[in-house]
Amino acid sequence: MGGDGSSKARDRASLRRTNLALVLRLLRDAGPRPRTQIATETGLPKATITNLVAELVERGLVREGDSARDGAVGRPSRTLAIDGRSVCGIGLEISADYVHLIALDLRGEVAAEHRLPLDARAAGPDAVLDRAAEAIRATRRTLQGRKAQAVAVTVAAPGVIQRDSGVVSYAPNIGWRDVDVVGGLRERLGRGCPPVRLENDAKLGAVAEYLVAAQAGIHDLIYVTGETGVGGGIISDGRLLRGSAGFAGEIGHMRLAPDGKPCACGRQGCWETMVGLNALLEHAAAPDDPVRDPSVDLEQRLAELRRRADAGEPATRAALDKIADGLGLGLTVLADVLNPRAIVLGGYFAYFGDHFIAQVENELTARVVAPDAGGCTVLASTLGFTAAARGGAHASLDFVYQDPGGTMAAPG
């Protein structure tokens, strides 16, 4: 009961943080508006709003724009809007084939981008983290040149990660086990390094896809990405579903394959043995076919398969049909459990989207117990291989939207 002076000071600081965040998020979600309208909409006194806005402007998060008439009578007052050129969030994806960095400013515009081709398995964790740190340093220099700063770095990694400790526990497709990604990057970046966080790549891909889908009023979606592994990210009622320990969305390992084929994870019958990239390649081509040669660039091999499918080559068409069957099986299970408004196919599933979507949608309609597949649409991702890095950059910007006062003043 009650509290002493220092706990009251803490309460006040926490209240101010909450209110700064409230105002900043209102401007993001509802668009530019004058101070008086912000006061009405937040229920906070006008003097408080004036004071909060002053801090947000000083930190370079909000700018004053055009005048607007506030209501039918009274003097015109200036409209406030998200500024955001001075702060950026960085997303950095580590995949089997590349390291990819995207920096987005507070308004979601791309401020910087780097893509480094790399065989992550062959290079090993140390070399990959060296390259990742270089990319982050280069980006920070670029941003500093524009008087902007990076508020946080969110790393997207394939596989099972421990979010609290920043460790990749297990990423079979790049051969990593217990790699301290956050610690390794912090050490390389040294003092003054922005906060670094780790998240699963498919979860961050889902965040990026949701920012697109929300424009169309879609707030429940599943992002399903097909690469060597099959990953998933679930958005439910506008929120990323993490589960109790951050492991939700491990859909590639649902035990659905009736033949019980061994999986890279050491278990049997995982869904990704039916629909992962290797299943497609094995169905489509003989072992000595160049599309199965891992030394050839993946995008080239997919383009060749695409060419064959478009030419009506029977083995390729049959392989794609078989993958569509398997996709249908897993997606109906997910639709029965989660009732998404949309399933967004990423990775190679998106690349062959036109071959998969009709077949999978028919399967959903026939099979899902809710009427009309519960209203679910299947879409191909339009973000391609940028989804995870882009989602990471957005997650980094969340630092600002959660605690605008915590943002360091822009340098220079």
The reply to whether 13 sits near its own copies by the rule CB under 8 A is: no
**CB 146 → its own copies: shortest distance, Å?**
31
Strands 377-380 and 342-347: parallel
The reply to whether 338 sits near its own copies by the rule CB under 8 A is: yes
- The encoded tokens of residue 226 equal 């097909």
Q: Which stretch binds its own copies (CB under 8 A): 4-12, 104-112, 123-131, 395-403?
A: 4-12
Question: Within positions 132 to 191, which residues make up the interface with its own copies, using CB under 8 A?
Answer: 160, 169-170
Q: Which stretch binds its own copies (CB under 8 A): 49-57, 252-260, 291-299, 401-409?
A: 252-260
The reply to whether 220 sits near its own copies by the rule CB under 8 A is: yes
Q: How far apart are CA 141 and CA 84, in angstroms?
A: 18
Q: Which stretch binds its own copies (CB under 8 A): 40-48, 50-58, 208-216, 288-296?
A: 40-48
**CB 215 → its own copies: shortest distance, Å?**
16
**CB 257 → its own copies: shortest distance, Å?**
10
Question: How many secondary structure helices (H) and strands (E) does the chain include?
Answer: 13, 16
The reply to whether 8 sits near its own copies by the rule CB under 8 A is: yes
Per rule CB under 8 A, count of chain residues that contact its own copies = 70
Beta-bridge mates of residue 232? 224
Cβ atoms 374, 335 nearer than 8 A: yes
Question: Within positions 221 to 240, which residues make up the interface with its own copies, using CB under 8 A?
Answer: 232, 234, 236-237, 239
Cβ atoms 360, 328 nearer than 8 A: yes
Question: Within positions 43 to 72, which residues make up the interface with its own copies, using CB under 8 A?
Answer: 43, 68-72
Positive or negative, the CA dihedral 233, 238, 240, 245 is: negative
Using CA atoms, how far residue 78 sits from 43, 63, 65, 66, 261, in Å, is: 19, 10, 6, 6, 65
Question: Within positions 371 to 390, which residues make up the interface with its own copies, using CB under 8 A?
Answer: 371, 374-376
Beta-bridge mates of residue 33? 80
Give phi and psi for 107, each to the nearest 5.
-95, 5
Select 71 or 294, whichever has its Cβ closest to its own copies. Answer: 71
Q: Provide the mask over 283-322, with x wherever binding to its own copies is found by CB under 8 A and - wherever it is not.
A: ----------------------------------------
Give the amino acid at 128: V
Residue in 24, 49, 62, 79 binding its own copies, rule: CB under 8 A:
79
Select 215 or 244, whichever has its Cβ closest to its own copies. Answer: 244
Positive or negative, the CA dihedral 394, 397, 399, 400 is: negative
Beta-bridge mates of residue 168? 161, 179
Select 305 or 376, whichever has its Cβ closest to its own copies. Answer: 376
Question: Within positions 261 to 290, which residues make up the interface with its own copies, using CB under 8 A?
Answer: 265, 267, 270
Q: How far apart are CA 155 and CA 295, in angstroms?
A: 26
Helix axes 298-310, 314-338, angle to 10 degrees: 110
Select 98 or 170, whichever has its Cβ closest to its own copies. Answer: 170
The reply to whether 195 sits near its own copies by the rule CB under 8 A is: no
Select 15 or 303, whichever has its Cβ closest to its own copies. Answer: 15
Return the biggest CA–CA distance within the chain.
Answer: 79
Residue in 367, 380, 402, 406 binding its own copies, rule: CB under 8 A:
367
Positive or negative, the CA dihedral 265, 270, 276, 282 is: positive
Q: How far apart are CA 78 and CA 64, in angstroms?
A: 6
Q: Is 39 helix (H, G, I), strand (E, B) or coil?
A: helix
Interacting residues with its own copies (CB under 8 A): 1-4, 8, 11, 15, 18-19, 33-34, 36-37, 40-41, 43, 68-72, 79, 160, 169-170, 218-220, 232, 234, 236-237, 239, 241-251, 253-256, 258, 265, 267, 270, 329, 332-334, 336-341, 367-371, 374-376
